[in-house]
Amino acid sequence: MLKKTHSGALTAIIFLSLILPVKVYAAPNNSAEAVILVHAETGQILFSENADSKMLIASTTKIMTALVVLDNCDPDEMVKILPEYTNVEGSSMYLKAGESYSVRDLLYGMLLVSGNDAATALAFHCAGSIEAFAELMNVKAREMGLQNSSFKNPHGLDADGHYSSAEDLATITCEAMKNELFAEIVSTKTYKVGDQTYMNHNKLLWNYAGCLGIKTGYTIAAGRSLVSCAERNGLKLICVTLSDPDDWDDHKKLYDWAFENFEYKRVLPMGSICEIPVISGEKETVGVFAQADCRILVNKNAKLAFSLELPDFVYAGIKAGECAGRAFVTADGEVIGEFPLNYASDVELADNAELSAWERIKRAWFFVNRYGFVFEGRE
């Protein structure tokens, strides 16, 4: 599920780290009935309005369709087109009954030109029927922890009980963009199948720098739906608007605002952060490092600092990768992240180490507190 950054200090486990909320500046006005803007890699929410409302989502449904197909089918599998696949109302890639297309080609036709015929063909190929495929979609939704989604078909034509929310769509899209083929397809401007050339309906690919595509949608009842992704300077964002008559401009304004105010920044150095003295060890010190990828979404121009919670020394007998302590990252004096720190190497007890009775008592106390038992040393 997505991690909120605008309404309280919710705990979010990301790369084994605790990421706390970022401050949010006033976002530009928009025309959407529901909207959300999230960081694609962590799911942190930069801005949202009415994002958990259950709404019609039109052809943005096809993001989930693609995700389920990619989970269950090889892109090179061939699909023979039956007449009933070509008789679906709405947008089409104009499949020809009796011919065969690869799953890959059908995905392109479904995601670039919103082919309802392609979505239908993929659903029958994957599950045998529209109903069975919709159940796969709902199973996937439950696995992802979505609370406001229910799917009845693979194409998004209006149907009773078919809905999602802006927040759920953002979660689905964050997951879909992890798939290399999906990301490649939705960023493609034109694609050719046989003699037919398909042009991506997402205008942002042509007129917004850094746009990585995704999916448009429209029905009379649902209005205009748009899910997009854009990246600049290593910051990748996903925006969802539902029932938005001015979606192209709203996405541009929200992206401009976010890229101006936020950055995804490394907040701890790579490699060893410091050395801790070792008592009675084969080495005198042991390095400490942050095992996680210590990047956080932060406000630009914030003054960042970090502090370490580590022991003054450690007794020999530690293992590489054991938890040594924690690092706290602050922005303008407020804690915004917490990362576990680990020992960089094994340190065994030195062969000639002789401990006094008092050192043995302290050593025993140290290991009881760390492991719950007394460490007697090497055999």
Active-site residue flag, 114: yes
Q: Which CATH number fits domain 3-264: 3.40.640.10, 3.30.70.260, 3.40.50.300, 3.40.710.10?
A: 3.40.710.10
Q: What is the pLDDT of residues 78-103, one digit of tens each?
A: 999 999 999 999 999 999 999 999 99
pLDDT at 5: 35
* 48, 59, 165, 225: the active-site residue: 59
**Taking residues 44-53, what's their average pLDDT?**
95
Domain 272-371 in CATH 2.60.410.10? The answer is yes
pLDDT at 134: 98
**Taking residues 303-307, what's their average pLDDT?**
87
CB-based contact 36:43 (threshold 8 Å): no
215 forms beta bridges with 227
DSSP element (H, E) containing 204: helix 204-207
CB-based contact 57:163 (threshold 8 Å): yes
Which tokens belong to 53?
């409302």
Q: What is the pLDDT of residues 220-244, one digit of tens each?
A: 999 999 999 999 999 999 999 999 9
Active-site residue flag, 59: yes
Beta strands in the chain (DSSP E): 3-4, 13-14, 17-19, 34-39, 44-49, 78-80, 100-102, 190-193, 196-199, 211-219, 223-232, 235-242, 262-266, 272-279, 285-290, 295-299, 304-309, 314-315, 323-331, 334-343
* 114, 165, 225, 228: the active-site residue: 114
Q: Does the pTM of the predicted model rise above 0.85?
A: no
Query: Of residues 379 and 215, which shows the higher confidence score?
Result: 215
* 62, 140, 215, 236: the active-site residue: 62
Answer whether residue 376 shows pLDDT above 60: no
pLDDT band at 334 (very low <50, low <70, confident <90, very high): confident
Q: What 3-state class would DSSP assign to 49?
A: strand
pLDDT at 303: 87
CB-based contact 55:165 (threshold 8 Å): yes
Q: What is the pLDDT of residues 139-172, one digit of tens each?
A: 999 999 999 999 999 999 999 999 999 999 999 9
pLDDT at 359: 57
The pairing of strands 334-343 and 285-290 is: antiparallel
Answer whether residue 369 shows pLDDT above 70: no
pLDDT at 1: 43
Domain ranges in the chain are 3-264, 272-371
What is the signed CA dihedral for 1, 170, 301, 12, rounded to 10 degrees?
0
Answer whether residue 18 shows pLDDT above 50: no
Answer whether residue 138 shows pLDDT above 70: yes
- Looking at every residue in the chain, the average pLDDT score rounds to 87
pLDDT at 13: 28
